[in-house]
Amino acid sequence: QARFVDKQKKTAEHNKATAEYMSEARAREIKTKRLRELRLAKEEADRVAEALNPTPKAKRVAKKAAATGVKT
């Protein structure tokens, strides 16, 4: 009978640990999904902003001219 009680305790501990693990895994999935949605929304907003207001490309300066201070 003592073995039966020990087995019940171990089973209860196992079930509790499994439930905690599953709960943590589910919380991690929810958090990851939320962060992914936020990241994708930000990337889309950045793409739209870039399309509406493109940054001008900088003009290249020759190395010799830059060293001597002469503009081309």
- The ranges assigned to domains in the chain are 2-68
**Confidence (pLDDT) at 70:** 56
Cβ atoms of residues 59 and 66 within 8 Å? no
**Confidence (pLDDT) at 46:** 94
State how far the Cα of 64 lies from the Cα of 52, in Å rounded to an integer: 36
How high is the mean pLDDT of the chain? 87
**Confidence (pLDDT) at 25:** 98
CA dihedral (29, 36, 31, 12) in degrees, to 10, reads 10
Give the DSSP letter of residue 62: -
